Amino acid sequence: MATIYDFTVKDRKGNDVSLSEYKGKVLLIVNTATGCGFTPHYDPLEAMYKDLRDKGFEILDFPSNQFAGQAPGSDDEIHEFCTLKFGTEFPQFAKIDVNGDNADPLFAFLAAEKPFKGFGKGIKNAALNKFANMNNKKFGDKTYIGWNFTKFLIDREGKVVARFEPTVDMKEVKKAVEELIG
């Protein structure tokens, strides 16, 4: 059975990184954007990282510009924005596609393991769903990710155990991470 350790990704400098380097750690893999309404998620993500990294926790940040062009900068510009504005210290990788024919295989795998089930109930979630559907219809059956700041929780064996849409409260995400860390 495949795990995330079977994948190799590019760091923000273009170097190959085998995700097997993260064996034995609890991971939160996130697709991000610097100009999104969910960009403030960087604050609780960085707080969680600082609080839990010494317990074997890592956040892997993958910027994507596929959602209304909300991550338009270069990898270096995105990294500078995140470190200066949010003080991020967790690993940030090269900007990728998460949907469509050029979707990074890691995100196709993550979404196959934990498919999209909606953004939840409420007016804001319904509005996001409508906007996301308009944006994502161009990807057809290769729409793996609904919007920026979708998060996948990975256990210490490299298995995908949970998916959190950007509309999920970050306190709920942190609680799930803490339970997995033990």
Q: Would you call 36 a catalytic residue per the annotation? A: yes
Torsion of CA 20, 105, 179, 44, to 10 degrees: 110
Q: Which of 3, 6, 10, 36 is catalytic?
A: 36
Residues with a catalytic annotation lie at 36
